[in-house]
Amino acid sequence: MRYRTLGRTGIKVSPYGLGALMFATSVGNSDPDDSARIIHKALDAGINLIDTADAYGDSEEVVGKALKGRRDNVVLATKVSRPMGDDPNQQGASRRWIMTAVENSLRRLQTDHIDLYQIHRPDPATDIEETLSALSDLIHSGKVRAIGTSNMPASDIVKAQWVAERRGLQRFRTEQPPYSLLSRGIEREVLPVAEHYGMGTLVWGPLGQGLLTGRVRKGRQNELRRAGLFKHLNDERRLDAVERFVSLAGEAGLPLTHLAMAFTIVHPGVTSAIVGPRTMSHLDDLLAGIDVALTDDVLDRIDEIVPPGTDVGTLDQAYVPPALQQASLRRRPAGERTAA
């Protein structure tokens, strides 16, 4: 495994990271012992980055139990800010919640420190200085080694970097955005901004949330449990692009999954691509492609199918800023809409 430096933290991580959402017994693998075997095999193969979140059901507990005796060899990442109950204060990026949530995560993970603590989604209701101040205190206390964001727009990343510099606070060292053959929008601003500030980038959804596994084909029924839940798995434009990628993978002599994974780690701004296997066979397939290197000809063909910096459709899980969700934020009152 060729390790890469996570931004300017000095921490070395594998180009593939192990996402732990599918280890939550309620949404993924119902057998924690089997999940532990998957985690151990990934570690044995050289993957040293494990990414989870407090909002992933009992994922943190499954991971914590599996890492007994191997914690020191793992770069352990988790996240905070998604709702953890009906209480409106059990979510977001306020100091009040962060200080409580980190203790809960440490207990579930059975560790005394978190290597990378990430804000799962931006929290427009909380001043970024408040968030960075709390996270800085966690670093100074030794409970957290580095901090990062997930799904943060480029403009917010810049704002956070400026606030950290001006206030003498710890700054975000990583960003975790969606990225795949079908979702290349981050190439336009997020990746260049992250590179400019020396941030590492851990991308999620490299298999298009299931569309790039080869199990979802246009005009055919599929067995993905998520197919009836997420619109992006039934988007005709995305399905059309998948068919073209299936053909390209065949011409290149590669499984579609190997083409998809190899693409995500080619960009110089990407540090690691997070894979989320639910079964051992899923992991075996991904590990079989770790030596795949795409040629310029194949990459040029990919650019023809989905041009750089563009997305085909929108992921259901993608972050949507309040200004796009709330009509009142983009429309003047009815009496103020005329020019005269």
Kindly list the catalytic residues: 56
Cα separation of 128 and 93, whole Å? 8
Of the candidates 146, 27, 4, the one whose C-alpha atom is nearest the C-alpha of residue 76 is 146
Cα separation of 172 and 209, whole Å? 26
Element (H, E) at 272: strand 272-275
H helices then E strands: how many in the chain? 11, 10
Cα separation of 145 and 136, whole Å? 10
Secondary structure class of 148 (helix, strand, coil): strand
Cα separation of 67 and 61, whole Å? 10
| Residues β-bridged to residue 202 | 272
Q: Calculate the alpha carbon distances from 177 to 44, 61, 264, 274, 332 in Å.
A: 27, 24, 12, 10, 32
Cα separation of 233 and 121, whole Å? 22
Element (H, E) at 296: helix 296-305
Tokens of 139: 């670093």
Percent helix, strand, coil in the chain (nearest 5)?
40, 15, 45
Element (H, E) at 50: strand 49-51
| Residues β-bridged to residue 149 | 119, 175
